[in-house]
A and B are shown apart, each in its own frame.
Chain A
């Protein structure tokens, strides 16, 4: 059901131009994606620290240090609401790498990206947040996070999954049993509350060698994803 979104985003071309000394170990392999071209260029000894220019459809979108990009591979995971320097750099990286369709993502990487969305929902404090962790038992480890998100906020949270576990009651959280149509998908979608500019979403499909997916901050796309998720209820 969410496949069309993955397919559509795959058509958006992103280019990463890596300026580094020599061949940075496995950067192209680690950044395994379906729609991103990775090229490397030499960097002089006296030059800046290794960095990566990001281009969307060949237009300059921004730049990251290589260290920031490598953080994607070993992401920090914190509670929503932890806004330290590390998280700020991670946020910049999330922004520039949105709509790159990553392959081979693992749960830890998905959790880190999910945290950015949950963090945004917590900071906005109002609006609709729809999440699916495939099975309700997978949601068990996230209960403390969602207690924090739901308690005392004006968020409307919908959690969906295979009913293989009985989740606790949490203020502002509604549980939905998934019949199977969304079973392969790990997703989050937040409508931004009063500010559509705060909307964001992540969709990932589980495959044999990891998850294939992307995240986006593009309001129109997030709106379409939310529409599809709402109509599935």
Chain B
């Protein structure tokens, strides 16, 4: 198991980063606030069930002053299952266990982690 030091990647890490950054799939997967928010949450807690991710997206909207009724929560859940998680899974940003409805982040290179976390921090201005 390789140890990745902050801000320094070994050769294999640099190769992985390069191929990721050259892949449109990666950039497409990051396009969308819900996906970046979900990734931020997963990078901190590790693994989470889909239902919890839907709750967390609701929590984000609540902090923006929007009421989040059950219908909205259900739409988050459906969007996660049918859109966000497959997309993130395709781009190798998460491991999506469809059967058990569990999601975990993949082992992301430090610059990618930072990019994601910075993007969500930027939301609050």
Contacts and interface: CB of A to CB of B under 8 A. Distances in A.
Interface of A: 17, 19, 42, 44-49, 51, 53, 59-65, 92
B67 A92 contact: yes
Interface residues of B, number: 24
A60 B40 contact: no
A19 B54 CA distance: 13
Contact of B44 (A46, A53, A60): A46
Given A47-B37, A63-B68, A92-B67, 17 more contacts: A19-B59, A42-B45, A44-B45, A46-B44, A46-B120, A47-B41, A47-B120, A48-B56, A49-B59, A49-B63, A59-B70, A61-B70, A62-B68, A62-B70, A63-B59, A63-B73, A64-B62
Nearest to B51: A60
A48 B44 contact: no
B56 A47 contact: yes
B44 A51 contact: no
7 contacts: A42-B44, A45-B44, A47-B59, A51-B62, A53-B58, A63-B58, A65-B59
Nearest to B43: A44
B44 A63 contact: no
Contacts, number: 65
Most chain A beta carbons < 10 A, residue from B41, B54, B62, B120: B62
A48 B63 contact: yes
Contacts of A63: 55, 58-59, 61-62, 68, 73
B21 interface: no
Q: Interface majority SS on B: helix, strand, loop or mixed? A: helix
A17 B56 CA distance: 11
B73 A60 contact: yes
B17 interface: no
Contacts of A46: 40, 44, 117, 120-121
B69 interface: yes
B27 interface: no
A64 B37 CA distance: 18
Contacts of B56: 19, 47-48
A45 B45 CA distance: 11
A162 B113 CA distance: 67
Interface in B14-65: 37, 40-41, 43-45, 54-56, 58-63
B13 to A, nearest CB: 23
Nearest to B42: A44
Nearest to B57: A48
Interface string B82-120: 000000000000000000000000000000000001001
Given A48-B56, A53-B58, A65-B62, A60 B41 contact: no
